[in-house]
A and B are shown apart, each in its own frame.
Chain A
Amino acid sequence: MQTGVDGQARTGARGAGVVSRLVGGGFDQLRIVTLLFLAIFVIYSLVLPGFFTVGNLLTLTRTVAVLGILGLGMAIVVIGRGIDLSLIASLAVPTALALTLAAKGYGLVPAVACGLLLAVAIGMLNGILVAYAEIPSLFTTLAVGIGVAGLGQIGIFDWEIVAWPPQLDAIAWIGRGNVAGIPYSVLAFGAMAVLIGVFLRRTRLGMFVYASGDNPGATRLTGIPLRPVLVMQYVIAACIAFFAGMVLAASSASMDTRIFNLTWIYDVILVVVLGGIGLSGGRGGVVNVIIGTLLIGTIMNGLTIMNVSYEMQNLVRGLVLLVAVMADSIINPRNEETAQQGDI
């Protein structure tokens, strides 16, 4: 895990160098957030008894592992200059479908395969609407997300909260238990981070993702199949969300499909944006997601240890995002030259 992160950091930094030369210094938010993270981490370690212990640090990473995995899915889409608001629906509904089918005795493999197929279908729908019908991703994925959540509500499941069936206990370890003291969910996040990191930085398709986010027009002119690349991004994101959903369901022994109506999607966007993946696309990578996730995890962990109230935790979270974004815009002021079309 540790070497994986380091490796990612190196790859990320090198990639950062390359892309920042192209874009013109858009990477300082990563540095700001890393410093912010280190500062908060050190302060907590000094002030909070019991914060800097192996047990607590593992708990910290475990609590944000699912958020981190989702962040990776969102990162791919955002790097490709899109956004996927249906990610939580892709997490909840296919997972709940898999659990429901397994509980009805369809067997482990067919149940999970059906869930995966549904996730792929959601991703395809998003991708085709964005890439071919050219509807802005914000609206497409918002609508698809609501539609998919509604699909779940009108009858796929008996209950909104689907229990983890004993038939799936053979794969329950992905969310429970640990190996050598490290929880599986953290390992799942690590493995997924390495996988996505390699995909984005080491494969041709990954480079296409950056290209399509950085300058779609130029991408198409150079002969890269822009539309299929866009579809692929959404399919990958949906599959990652399904994976995150299975980890979450195994972990809390149930899949609460109501989470679509909660504020999870904002947390995912928070992790991605906080880490410094610009919403204008083409920038950032896995390491940004990891830092963003760790920062949020650290803040929340400390606040929980201090027994700070829920409202206050939300306030602090909002303030941190605001500080990070403000610091970025002070250090990297935007003008006509640096602003990209599609900046949100």
Chain B
Amino acid sequence: MNMLSKLACGIAMAVAASVTAASAQSSMDDPLRDGYYENLKGKKVVFVPVFMGLDLTEGWSKIMARQADELGYSYEVRNSNFNTAAGAQTITSLISEKPDVIVVQNPDVQSYARLLQQAEKAGIHVIQLNMKTNYQTTGFVGADVELIGEKQAHAAVEKCSTGEQPGKVLVLAGPPTSPFSAYMLKGYENVLNDNPKVQIVSVQSTGDYESSKAKSIAQVVLQQHPDLCAILGVWDNTDVGTAAALQEAGKTDQVLLTTSGGGGELACKGLREGLWQYYVSYDVPGQGRDLNALIMAALQDTNEVGSTKTVLYTPLVTYTPETLGDERCWTLDTLR
């Protein structure tokens, strides 16, 4: 055969082959798929929040429940109702129940630490959500609270360091041992301690994030320091009270109120109505996605529990009245 006929033959074979292949265009098994779904059957994930009924916890829970529903593993919530002892009891009983994953929102940096350690020893993956203890488990999803503090402090510096006198700042914190108090305070200090133009006049705890307590503290401090320049708040729901104090004193324009939260409806409402002027969101929908990813990783993990540890700090989003748009804030209905 000469060159030409060889080529013609080759083309004919190729055409024949492709025709055969086309007629036999059949389905193929995705080799990952069966194992993936089979593995998830009968798996159990339990969420132990500090308190249900808040936008944060309801949001996370909805996202977790949806994935569980779609993939066919079981998901349940054990509410500890703002009672640390009840939460500890829940985790203790979970250690003997042996679910595959516990997702826990810690009330403070200490209380559950040993229990979480025991749970991992017992072969349960523990994922800590937004509020962590000082013991690192399989996973952490949540805000870098120190960074939230730094962001808020920078906003205060920008507003308050223009005058001759140092600008006066009030810091409102949560419960003293809560990660959202301790780490956020660290963030404030990182920025404000070296800044002679800004002076922290008071650091007070709002108890268990009570808005009424936030309001009365703000009132007392405003009375003492009528020239207050900024209030660094701890959480949007709490700072509704702080904002009420500012409104009653007629100082909404004078005092910058910064706060943080999950970026729900309240965040946008607060910006729109002028309750606060600077908002750091830790983006609950994003956290939910991260959380679901870590849950899936844990459910597929065949290594010894605790041998891999993953930390996912949530990318923070900053809202100001200038960047406001309602589409940026989520509601339970818009969560996917």
Contacts and interface: CB of A to CB of B under 8 A. Distances in A.
A53 B225 CA distance: 13
Interface in A191-209: none
B5 interface: no
Contacts of A132: none
Given A50-B224, A160-B51, A256 B211 contact: yes
B83 to A, nearest CB: 6
Contacts of A311: 176
B204 A63 contact: no
B53 A160 contact: yes
A159 interface: yes
Contacts of A304: 202, 204, 217, 220-221
Contact of A161 (B54, B202, B221, B243): B54
Nearest to A248: B212
- Identify whether the interface residues of A are mostly helix, strand, loop, or mixed: helix
A160 B52 CA distance: 8
Interface in B219-260: 219-221, 223-224, 237, 240-241, 243-244, 247-248
A56 B240 contact: no
Nearest to A257: B53
Contacts of A62: 216, 219
Interface string A7-46: 0000000000000000000000000000000000000000
A153 B216 contact: no
A176 interface: yes
B326 interface: no
Most A-side CB within 10 Å, residue of B204, B216, B248: B216
B223 A252 contact: no
Interface residues of A, number: 36
Contact of A251 (B52, B53, B212): B212
Nearest to B332: A158
Contact of B176 (A176, A253, A310): A310
B207 interface: yes
Nearest to A58: B223
A262 interface: yes
B220 to A, nearest CB: 5
A309 B173 CA distance: 11
Given A63-B220, A253-B211, A261-B83, 7 more contacts: A53-B223, A59-B220, A252-B244, A262-B208, A304-B220, A305-B224, A311-B176
20 contacts: A50-B224, A60-B220, A62-B216, A66-B212, A159-B58, A161-B211, A161-B237, A163-B266, A252-B214, A253-B241, A253-B243, A258-B208, A259-B210, A261-B82, A262-B82, A262-B210, A304-B221, A305-B224, A307-B202, A310-B176
> What are the 8 closest A-B residue pairs judged by CB atoms, nearest first?
A160-B53, A310-B205, A63-B216, A252-B241, A261-B82, A307-B202, A252-B211, A304-B220
